[in-house]
Amino acid sequence: MFVDIQAIPAPAAEIRPASAAGFDQQFNDARALANAGQPAMALEAYNALLARSPGNVDVLLSRGIVYGRLRRWADAEADLKAVTVAAPDYVDAWSALGNMYLWSDQRDKAAEAYRRWIALRPEDADARAALERALAVPPAMAAPEARAGSPDAFATGGYTWAGSVTGSWTDAGAGPRWNDQTISLRHYAKAGSLAFETLRAHRFGQEDYAWSLDAYTVLWQGAYANLRYQRSGAARLFPHNAGRAELYQSLGQGWEVSVSDDVLAFAASRVNIYGASLGNYFGNFYIALRHQAIVSAGSHSTGERLLSRYYYRGDADNYVELSANRGSSDDAASLVGGRTHSGGAGLAWVTYWDKAWGGRMGASYSRAGGSNDSAVSFSVYRRW
């Protein structure tokens, strides 16, 4: 009998799973993209990781944080809540979920998430501080970089650029009306922002132009600074050189204090404007009182300004602003006995039609000595 003897087939090559190092490297690359301000590319990388490892809680947590930075609240909530369900003892998930709720103005939910964080880490001071913020800080100021005193200083919506065009018209009574225009382009980075501005003024029958650099930068915990330099070549209306430095410091419980010095170098004189302010956030409101001392050769003036804002949508973008001011000056060269008094009030409305486009309308009235001035202004904002 013929027997067909065939060679025994070689064993199949062993199939090994992808190495953990490859997955870890991909995860680190995705996180680096997120931290470098590339959220769209980071999301693609996290999606690819989830395709390899569905339900991976570390990836879901990271993707949820990126969604939060982009203000895609529903997507962020879905990812972060999925992590808390799959891993209820994962402290970072409760922290991130609380932050997301706080940034999206859901303070009650934020407080509940922070309480879960505290339950897992009773001695964690950061957890208790986060809960305090959720209970005390208004929704408008909940986003970590937003500031009520200077709401355009730090980006809060994932964008990196902002531009604006502003015009104002003043009726000074006798004589022609004044008008001013400003064009600004601001770039945002992790540590702050820098703007380039061009300014034009037409007053007293004269015209002048200036340019400026205006920067905000984070300093230490709860502190940031505003630095500004302005220059005018002709110096017909603007000072030839001008500088500004202001330091802001959070005091906790919604309180913020600042001190400042503005230096105006005109052709014939130098003016220093020293300022100090105290502000507080409560509910959807912000209120601040500012005192100024204006000092030049042979003249000294003081003034106070009270400013209040109501954030009617509970975010940092949309608000109504009311202001009132008064002041007095002592000038030996004055024709009215060396002392004059002034005062005024203003109203402004700031609104964003969508994430990218917004505007501001304002009106003000002021008096000084025997003159009365009224002004209107309008601004258009664009960010991307």
Please indicate, yes or no, if residue 148 is contained in any of the structural domains.
no
Same domain, 119 and 222: no
Please indicate, yes or no, if residue 4 is contained in any of the structural domains.
no
Please indicate, yes or no, if residue 188 is contained in any of the structural domains.
yes
pLDDT band at 158 (very low <50, low <70, confident <90, very high): low
Q: Is the pLDDT of residue 338 over 80?
A: no
The 3-state DSSP class for residue 218 equals strand
Same domain, 103 and 178: no
Same domain, 184 and 309: yes
Question: In this structure, what CATH number is given to the domain that contains residue 97?
Answer: 1.25.40.10
Sign of CA dihedral 79, 84, 87, 90: positive
**What pairing do the DSSP bridges indicate for beta strands 339-352 and 206-218?**
unpaired
- pLDDT score, position 5: 39
Amino acid at 218: V
Stretch among 96-105, 168-177, 341-350, 371-380 having the lowest mean pLDDT: 168-177
Structure tokens at 289: 């009182």
User: What is the separation of C-alpha 222 from the centre of its chain, rounded to a whole number of angstroms?
Assistant: 13
More confident residue, 61 or 314: 61
- Long-range contact set of residues 356-359: C-beta below 8 Å, sequence gap at least 24: 356/159, 356/382, 356/383, 356/384, 357/381, 357/382, 358/317, 358/382, 358/383
Domain range for 63 is 21-136
- pLDDT score, position 25: 87
pTM for the model:
0.61
Helices 91-103, 57-69: axis angle to 10 degrees equals 20
- pLDDT score, position 227: 95
Q: Is the pLDDT of residue 368 over 90?
A: no
Same domain, 165 and 42: no
Question: In this structure, what CATH number is given to the domain that contains residue 240?
Answer: 2.40.160.40
Same domain, 365 and 227: yes
Q: Is the pLDDT of residue 188 over 60?
A: yes
Same domain, 94 and 201: no
Same domain, 213 and 132: no
pLDDT band at 332 (very low <50, low <70, confident <90, very high): very low
Same domain, 188 and 128: no
Please indicate, yes or no, if residue 95 is contained in any of the structural domains.
yes
Same domain, 366 and 278: yes
Please indicate, yes or no, if residue 10 is contained in any of the structural domains.
no
- pLDDT score, position 174: 67
Same domain, 170 and 131: no
Range 317-332 average pLDDT: 82
Domain ends where: 102, 136, 170?
136
Amino acid at 81: K
Please indicate, yes or no, if residue 1 is contained in any of the structural domains.
no
- pLDDT score, position 314: 67
- pLDDT score, position 373: 84
Question: 223-265 pLDDT, tens per residue?
Answer: 889 999 999 988 888 999 999 999 988 887 778 899 999 999 9
Mean residue pLDDT of the chain comes to 82
Same domain, 105 and 239: no
Length of the chain equals: 384
Rounded Cα distance between 102 and 105, Å, is: 5
Domain count, the chain: 2
Please indicate, yes or no, if residue 150 is contained in any of the structural domains.
no
DSSP string, 310-327: E-TTSSSS-EEEEEEEEE
Stretch among 15-24, 28-37, 191-200 having the lowest mean pLDDT: 15-24
Please indicate, yes or no, if residue 146 is contained in any of the structural domains.
no
Domain ends where: 136, 169, 185?
136
Same domain, 226 and 369: yes
Range 21-44 average pLDDT: 83
